[in-house]
Structure 1
Amino acid sequence: MTLFEQSLAVTLKHEGGFSHHPRDPGGVTLEGVIQRVYDAYRCRHGRDLRPLTPAMRGQPDWIAERNAIYKQQYWDAVRADELPRGVSLVVFDGAVNSGPYQSALWLQRALGVAADGHVGINTINAARQHPDHDALIAAICARRLGMLQNLKTWSTFGKGWSARVASVKAIGQAWASGSVGPAPVEAFGVAKAYASDVMQPAIDADTSTRSAVGGGALAGLIQGAQAQLQPFLGTADWLTNIYLGLTIAGIVVAVGGVGYSIYAAHKSRVARRAIEGDVLGVPA
């Protein structure tokens, strides 16, 4: 078997069979191939589109198409043939699950080279010259897990993704050392894990700050009510109490807005770092 075939056998165990989970951003998926990727492949080869179905598994024509997609879309995209053994498996498996660009970022961040999401000669040379491929594989997997743990779908698929990353790490490190390694876990982490699903704050920091200084809808309503009541202050205690209550409410809104803006800015920074492959995950 070629290194690609060996790596594909591992990833297919991770990918499982047919799935169409409502929270999976990949949608309909057969053995790791999503419908839109399959449609694009068939279009490029002048073939009629057809839906992915469980019945296609094991069919020779499907196996040929599936393997070609894996080779062209993922293996070749990260130039896995040119990467050290073991490292190639980890980068390939990450590319299948999260896209070649994202997997290349994890590799480049782990190597400490310029991170542009494209595996070029500098990245390949740095990987080959790395003094400890076991450590490199661990660093790649930690960054991969760091992004996964920041995805909106972590609560649904996190257990499977954790098992998958741990599995590919163990196998990759064994291969890097010239060993066969453990058998891959089966049908874990089949959902696609895209950077576009990294958790972001519900309201961005700028919007929250504008609300805090009086530009928000609620702050505007409070200020408007205060303006209406101000000419009548001193005419009745209950009006004064209402005005005081509105003043306190305005302060609460302002403080809350500032507090949320700090939280939102922090969440945005974490999200950006996770997308860029600069967050280390914590193994379960």
Structure 2
Amino acid sequence: MRLDPMRENFRPALAAVLVHEGGYSNHPSDPGGPTMKGVIKRVYDDYRRAKGASVRDVRQITEAELQEIYRKRYWDLIQGDRLPAGIDYAVFDGAVNSGPAQATKWLQRALGIPADGVLGPATLAAMERAEDHDAVVAGIQARRLAMLKALRTWPVFGKGWGRRVEEVRRLALALATGSQDLPMPTATASGKAYASSAKAPPPKAIGDALASGGVVTTGIGVAVDGVTPLADKSATAAGLLVLLMVAGALVGVLGFVYREWAKARAAELLDALDLKAPELGGAGTPAEAVPA
């Protein structure tokens, strides 16, 4: 299987993708639901309705339907015919697993341009300027792995996803260099990986409760006010006052440390998911989270 730069590489790329996608699956933790050879039921239903046909079990998908869905809903959306060999396959495989917009963002980040999820003239121009295609492939796969690890479903599908990312990287690099010795994927590693399955950021309320002015520190402050008048009359009260003051200081420090940690963790999630701040934990699902 030799994919030459800027030529028709769809069918051989799809053959590699299908090794990872396997046959039929309906894992309870898979946000894609019932899936046949990587095509989820919702996508198959939309495709059938657009053709004026009745919906049916995704396991009944024909080879012709499979080819058309992968071509129009994935390959064409990531401009596969206009991407260099290896990079086309890496983006295509990511699009099948996580949606075309998300895979495009990985490419855009690897190229060092703004990641808007739309593979248009600006992205293609940046691709033409890129001289080190190996570095682009490596960048795409690094971004992909970071995003996968940021998903709630990583504990379920992570082992297979990690293997898939590495196998896609190896094959894409071989294709990019024109190697005749192609390390094809070896096993199924499915489970859709959408940004909508992202882990939630650490709760801000904990830091607020601990920090100065929070519920905990306010409570300690009230207790200090109550014990202070007694401190001069009782050694026990004086000792308790010291403990309360130390506790108040520690809680305040812990609140500050937690808030800084939570802020950094939220920033890491935003970066891994290629999202802007308002999109993380907000209402609704980002448009790029689920493939068309």
Q: TM-score, normalised by structure 1?
A: 0.81
- Measure the CA separation in 2 of the matches of 1:232 and 1:64: 86
Moved more, 213-222 or 255-264: 213-222
For residues 48 and 226 of structure 1, do their structure 2 counterparts lie closer, same or farther at Cα, with a shift above 3 Å needed? farther
Could you report, residue by residue, the CA deviation over 1:86-123 in whole angstroms, capped at 9, with x for unpaired residues? 21111100111111111111111111233221111121
- Measure the CA separation in 2 of the matches of 1:237 and 1:38: 77
- Measure the CA separation in 1 of the matches of 2:54 and 2:27: 25
Q: Give the conservation status (yes or no) of the 8 Å contact 2:210–2:216.
A: no
Residue 100 of structure 2 corresponds to which residue in structure 1?
100
Could you report, residue by residue, the CA deviation over 1:212-253 in whole angstroms, capped at 9, with x for unpaired residues? 443433333333444455555555544444444433332232
Residue 221 of structure 2 corresponds to which residue in structure 1?
223
Over the matched positions of the two proteins, sequence identity in percent amounts to 42
Code of the residue aligned with 1:127 in structure 2: it is M
Q: Give the conservation status (yes or no) of the 8 Å contact 2:148–2:154.
A: yes
Match status 1:30 vs 2:30: no
Match status 1:184 vs 2:190: no
- Measure the CA separation in 2 of the matches of 1:43 and 1:241: 76
User: 1:140 Cα deviation (Å)?
Assistant: 1.6
Tell me how many residue pairs correspond in the alignment. Answer: 268
User: 1:170 Cα deviation (Å)?
Assistant: 1.9
Aligned equivalent of 1:211, options 206, 209, 212: 209
Code of the residue aligned with 1:149 in structure 2: it is K
- Measure the CA separation in 1 of the matches of 2:213 and 2:54: 54
User: 1:264 Cα deviation (Å)?
Assistant: 0.8
- Measure the CA separation in 2 of the matches of 1:46 and 1:233: 84
Q: How does 1:66-85 map to 2 (within 5 A)?
A: 66-85=66-85
Q: Give the conservation status (yes or no) of the 8 Å contact 1:20–1:27.
A: yes
Q: How does 1:261-272 map to 2 (within 5 A)?
A: 261-272=259-270
- Measure the CA separation in 1 of the matches of 2:54 and 2:239: 73
Structure 1 alignment gaps of length 5 or more: 278-284
Aligned equivalent of 1:16, options 19, 22, 46: 22
Could you report, residue by residue, the CA deviation over 1:255-277 in whole angstroms, capped at 9, with x for unpaired residues? 11111111111111211221229
Aligned-partner SS, 1:77 = coil
User: 1:198 Cα deviation (Å)?
Assistant: 3.8
- Measure the CA separation in 1 of the matches of 2:133 and 2:246: 60
User: 1:84 Cα deviation (Å)?
Assistant: 1.2
Residue 138 of structure 2 corresponds to which residue in structure 1?
138
Structure 2 alignment gaps of length 5 or more: 2-7, 276-292
The Cα RMSD (Å) is 2.7
Q: Give the conservation status (yes or no) of the 8 Å contact 2:168–2:185.
A: yes
Aligned-partner SS, 1:186 = coil
Code of the residue aligned with 1:249 in structure 2: it is A
User: 1:82 Cα deviation (Å)?
Assistant: 1.2
- Measure the CA separation in 1 of the matches of 2:216 and 2:34: 42
User: 1:14 Cα deviation (Å)?
Assistant: 0.7
Aligned equivalent of 1:246, options 240, 244, 247: 244
Q: Give the conservation status (yes or no) of the 8 Å contact 1:212–1:257.
A: yes
Q: Give the conservation status (yes or no) of the 8 Å contact 2:22–2:188.
A: yes
For residues 216 and 63 of structure 1, do their structure 2 counterparts lie closer, same or farther at Cα, with a shift above 3 Å needed? farther
Residue 273 of structure 1 corresponds to which residue in structure 2?
271
